[in-house]
């Protein structure tokens, strides 16, 4: 312990050559640099068929895995395979692993076979009707064509199931079975089929719980990967939307989907996200929250560098802005990256309500941030150091109310802040119906009683309450959490040196935030590292028809969201232009 401390101490004062590490910076795309965005349209007209292949569960990456993947080790002898499967799944110890043996008849030859699947994760009806029935009954039918191998024959004639894969390696089959597939082994065939018969219990699409809006779609993500990608695809309807499949987790092999729009998103960004996702080596992943922590730039920055959303429409709009969205199986929260501090303050509602109100909303939210971050600190600083700036009547009111309070105001505010955090934390843990009741008890009774018992002053209750309300006005939960943590630093700084302390704190925080990056994008963009349209487009919200460009700092391939005149009815010219645009698009 001591040695360790001495080492740290020595490290503080000696110099070690830093390891040179290239930091990822999101640069302008090569095309953009070379020809300036104009040529994008030519690129768009790529052969369409090829794209459609991309839609089907990413053949490419699958192939990749096959190439460098495990060795083909399925034996032609069924008994051997069965032994291995039994060994792998610890049958019969493992209760929900089902191994069903059966025979099928091909060209009047009886061939033994077996299938393996997990009970509960598969759909029984599909297995019965689409797999067992055809294999056991239909295989007897008269065959017209003459297939060479049994495997080909079975795939093309006997199994009518729609998602059927053939693997040569046991490991791949096992993966498929682990993820709700049904593995079929046939004697004399050195490969196995995996039919996708997922049928586990899951939650239906519900309203998003944490990000509610009044206007806008009311669907939220669920725990199913494909349902989630479908929810996004349903909104965008764009064949350029790519959903690359990746598996993360050495044991869990959790499927994830990395989504981006091919001709908008910067390639280097996609590459960087893919690189980070692929490099992850953990055993299991339970939620995208863990994935977030594994791929974010800085773990120490108190605010999130990846936006987490429960709303498909928000994820879709992020995609449309040129971001990458990662959806993980088993988590109803999608990760959108990169993200800037400013974007975390946006709510999907901003674009759904009309523009004057949207700007008011944004302003209120900024207020919320400042209140939740600084108000308690400012209160301590002002009451301890800058009493002259309190209006005299208020000063006397505070003095009178504090007169019977035995604590210094820092302690007082820390007591209240901590009890407020307690109420908040308890409110989440407490089972449903009691939750709100506890809120009332906490807020009213506790606050009232604390004041009556002269433990805190009534002014302070207002400060803490306003701070709490401010932090709830922040649309991103993780951001609000970050500011909640920082708030304590400001309370201490305010207590140490008043406004000087708080200003120094703001400066340090600013320098810190400004030097951070989220996936190569400066975290404080578009203000610090100023980019075009920072205030008008990103900070405030112009009318919808004026939101013409994607954020500059995203360095997207196609900067324009809509032509200069997007409301054709406003002018004849506009209509002409629109038609031209449509033509060009086709």
Partner 1 sequence: MQESKIVFGKWETAALLINALNVQVFLNFPRTMAERGGTAGWILAAYISVLAFLLFLLISRLYSRFEGKDLLDLGEYIGGSAGRIIVGIIILIHITFIISIILREFAEDMKVISLPASPISFVILFFLSGMIAGAYAGIEAIVRFHAFIVPIILAGYLIIIGGVAPYYNISNIMPILGNGAYAIFGSGFFRISSFSGLIALFLLFPFIKTGKNFKSAGSLAIGISSGVLITSALTFLLVFPYPSAIEGFLPIFQLARLINYGRFFQRVESIFVMIWAIAALLYLSMGFFLIVYVFSKTFRLEYYRPLIIPMAIIVFAISLWPKNLMSAIAMETVYFRSAAWAVTFGMTLLLLLVAGAMKKRNHRKEGDRK
Partner 2 sequence: MKRTAAFLLMLAATCTLLSGCYDGKEIDDQTYVIAIGLDKGETNKLRMTLQYAIPLAMGSSGVSGGGGGGGGEGESKSIGSMTLECPSVYSGLNMVNNSVGKQVNLSHAKVMVFSEDLAKDGRMVMLTRAITRGKEFRPNMVVAVSRGSAEDYLKSIKPRQEADPSKYYELKFSGYKYTGFIDQTQLHDFFIKEESTGAQAVAALVGVNTKNSTKEFSVGESSAPQKNRPVPFEGDYLAGNLPKVGDIKGEAMGLAVFNGPKMVGELDGEESTHYLMVTGKYGHAYVTFPDPIKKDFYIVVNLKQSRRPTYKIKLVDGKPNIKVEIKLEADYMSIQSGINYESEYNDIFERSAEKYLEEGIKRLLNRTSAEFHSDIFGFGNQYKSRFLTWDQWKNFQWLDRYKNSTFEVAVDVKVRRTGLTIRNAPIQGSEGEVQSP
Q: Using the structure block, give the residue that is written with the tokens 């009741």.
A: 437
* Span from 121-129, 386-394, 398-406, 539-547 in contact with partner 1 (CB under 8 A): 386-394
Rule CB under 8 A: say whether 13 interacts with partner 1.
Answer: yes
* Span from 15-23, 42-50, 184-192, 326-334 in contact with partner 1 (CB under 8 A): 15-23
How far is C-alpha 550 from the geometric centre of its chain's CA atoms? Answer: 21
Q: Least distance from C-beta 379 to partner 2, angstroms?
A: 11
CA–CA separation, 450 and 441 (whole Å)? 12
Q: Least distance from C-beta 459 to partner 2, angstroms?
A: 9
Q: Least distance from C-beta 373 to partner 2, angstroms?
A: 18
Residues that bind partner 2 (CB under 8 A): 8, 11-12, 300, 383-385, 387-388, 390, 392-393, 395-405, 408-409, 451-452, 454, 458, 492, 495-498, 508
Residue 395 near which of partner 1, partner 2, none (CB within 5-8 Å, type-dependent):
partner 2
Residue 282 near which of partner 2, partner 1, none (CB within 5-8 Å, type-dependent):
none
Q: Which is closer to partner 1, CB of 145 or CB of 392?
A: 392
How far is C-alpha 544 from the geometric centre of its chain's CA atoms? Answer: 26
Q: Per the structure block, which two tokens stand in for 485? A: 């943590």
Residue 230 near which of partner 1, partner 2, none (CB within 5-8 Å, type-dependent):
none
Q: Least distance from C-beta 490 to partner 2, angstroms?
A: 13
Rule CB under 8 A: say whether 17 interacts with partner 1.
Answer: yes
Smallest Cα–Cα separation from 124: which of 144, 96, 145?
96
Q: Which is closer to partner 1, CB of 162 or CB of 392?
A: 392
**Given candidates 99, 270, 366, 514, which one binds partner 1 under the rule CB under 8 A?**
514
CA–CA separation, 548 and 532 (whole Å)? 12
Q: Which is closer to partner 2, CB of 214 or CB of 452?
A: 452
Q: Which residues contact 106 (CB under 8 A, 6 or more apart)?
A: 139, 143, 150, 153, 154, 158
Rule CB under 8 A: say whether 11 interacts with partner 1.
Answer: no
Q: What is the DSSP secondary structure assignment for residue 76, as one 8-state letter?
A: S
Rule CB under 8 A: say whether 105 interacts with partner 1.
Answer: no
In our burial notation (b when 16+ CB lie closer than 10 A, e otherwise), range 395-431 reads eeebeebbeebebebbebbbbbbebbeebeeebeeee
Rule CB under 8 A: say whether 539 interacts with partner 1.
Answer: no
CB 484 within 8 A of CB 421: yes
CA–CA separation, 312 and 80 (whole Å)? 46
Smallest Cα–Cα separation from 346: which of 479, 518, 234?
479
* Integer-rounded Cα radius of gyration of the chain: 30
Residue 507 near which of partner 1, partner 2, none (CB within 5-8 Å, type-dependent):
partner 1
Kindly identify the residues of this chain, within the stretch 317-336, that bind partner 1 according to CB under 8 A.
none
Rule CB under 8 A: say whether 527 interacts with partner 1.
Answer: yes
Q: Which is closer to partner 1, CB of 539 or CB of 544?
A: 539
Residue 403 near which of partner 2, partner 1, none (CB within 5-8 Å, type-dependent):
partner 2
Rule CB under 8 A: say whether 564 interacts with partner 1.
Answer: no
The DSSP secondary structure of 230-293, one letter per residue, reads HHHHHHH--TTEEEEEEEE-TTT-EEEEEEEETTTS-HHHHHHHHHHHHT---S---SHHHHHH
* Span from 31-39, 104-112, 350-358, 505-513 in contact with partner 1 (CB under 8 A): 505-513
Q: Per the structure block, which two tokens stand in for 548? A: 């013409």
How far is C-alpha 572 from the geometric centre of its chain's CA atoms? Answer: 43
Residue 546 three-state SS: helix
Rule CB under 8 A: say whether 363 interacts with partner 1.
Answer: no
CA–CA separation, 539 and 537 (whole Å)? 6
Rule CB under 8 A: say whether 388 interacts with partner 1.
Answer: yes
Residue 10 near which of partner 1, partner 2, none (CB within 5-8 Å, type-dependent):
none
Residue 87 near which of partner 1, partner 2, none (CB within 5-8 Å, type-dependent):
none
CA–CA separation, 517 and 506 (whole Å)? 18
Which chain residues interact with partner 1 by CB under 8 A?
13, 15, 17-18, 20, 382, 385-386, 388-389, 391-392, 497-504, 506-508, 510-512, 514-515, 522, 524, 527-530
């Amino acid at each position: 312990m001591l040695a360790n401390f001495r080492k740290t101490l020595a490290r503080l004062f000696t110099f070690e050559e830093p390891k040179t590490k290239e930091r990822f910076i999101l640069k302008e795309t090569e095309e953009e640099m070379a020809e300036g965005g104009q040529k994008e349209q030519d690129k768009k007209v790529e052969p369409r068929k090829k794209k459609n292949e991309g839609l089907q569960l990413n053949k490419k990456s699958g192939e990749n895995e096959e190439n460098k993947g495990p060795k083909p080790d399925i034996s032609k002898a069924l008994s051997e395979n069965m032994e291995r499967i039994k060994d792998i799944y610890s049958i019969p110890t493992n209760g929900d692993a089902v191994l069903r043996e059966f025979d099928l008849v091909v060209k009047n030859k009886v061939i033994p076979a077996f299938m393996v699947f997990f009970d509960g994760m598969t759909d029984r009806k599909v297995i019965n009707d689409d797999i067992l029935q055809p294999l056991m009954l239909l295989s007897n039918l008269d065959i017209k064509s003459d297939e060479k191998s049994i495997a080909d024959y079975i795939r093309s004639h006997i199994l009518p199931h729609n998602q059927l894969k053939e693997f040569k390696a046991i490991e791949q089959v096992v993966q498929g079975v682990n993820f709700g597939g049904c593995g079929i082994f046939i004697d004399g065939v050195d490969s196995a089929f995996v039919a996708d018969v997922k049928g586990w219990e899951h939650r239906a699409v519900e309203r998003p719980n944490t990000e509610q809006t009044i206007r806008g779609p009311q669907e939220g993500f669920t725990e199913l990967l494909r349902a989630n990608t479908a929810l996004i695809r349903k909104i965008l309807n764009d064949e350029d939307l790519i959903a690359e499949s990746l598996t993360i987790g050495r044991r869990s092999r959790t499927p994830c989907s990395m989504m981006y729009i091919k001709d908008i998103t910067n390639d280097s960004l996609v590459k960087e996200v893919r690189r980070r996702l692929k490099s992850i080596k953990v055993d299991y992943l339970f939620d995208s929250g863990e994935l977030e922590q594994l791929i974010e730039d800085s773990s120490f920055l108190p605010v999130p560098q990846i936006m987490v959303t429960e709303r498909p429409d928000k994820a879709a709009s992020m995609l449309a802005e040129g971001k990458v969205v990662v959806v993980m199986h088993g988590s109803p929260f999608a990760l959108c990256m990169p993200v800037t501090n400013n974007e975390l303050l946006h709510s999907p509602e901003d674009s759904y309500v009309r523009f004057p109100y949207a700007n008011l909303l944004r302003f209120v939210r900024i207020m919320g941030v400042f209140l939740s971050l600084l108000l308690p600190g400012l209160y301590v600083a002002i009451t301890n150091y800058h009493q002259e700036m309190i209006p005299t009547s208020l000063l006397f009111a505070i003095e009178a109310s504090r007169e019977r309070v035995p604590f210094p105001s820092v302690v007082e505010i820390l007591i209240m802040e901590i009890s407020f955090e307690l109420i908040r934390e308890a409110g989440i843990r407490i089972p449903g119906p009691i939750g709100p009741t506890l809120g009332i008890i906490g807020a009213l009774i506790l606050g009232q009683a604390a004041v009556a018992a002269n433990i805190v002053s009534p002014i302070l209750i207002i400060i803490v309450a306003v701070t709490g309300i401010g932090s709830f006005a922040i649309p991103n939960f993780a951001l609000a959490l970050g500011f909640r943590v920082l708030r304590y630093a400001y309370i201490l700084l305010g207590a140490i040196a008043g406004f000087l302390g708080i200003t120094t704190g703001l400066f340090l925080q600013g320098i810190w935030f400004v030097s951070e990056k989220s996936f190569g994008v400066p975290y404080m963009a578009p203000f610090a590292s100023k980019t075009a349209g920072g205030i008008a487009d990103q900070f405030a919200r112009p009318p919808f028809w004026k939101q013409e460009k994607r954020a500059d700092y995203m360095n997207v391939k196609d900067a324009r969201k809509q032509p200069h005149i997007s409301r054709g009815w406003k002018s004849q010219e506009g209509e002409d232009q629109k038609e031209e645009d449509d033509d060009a698009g086709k």
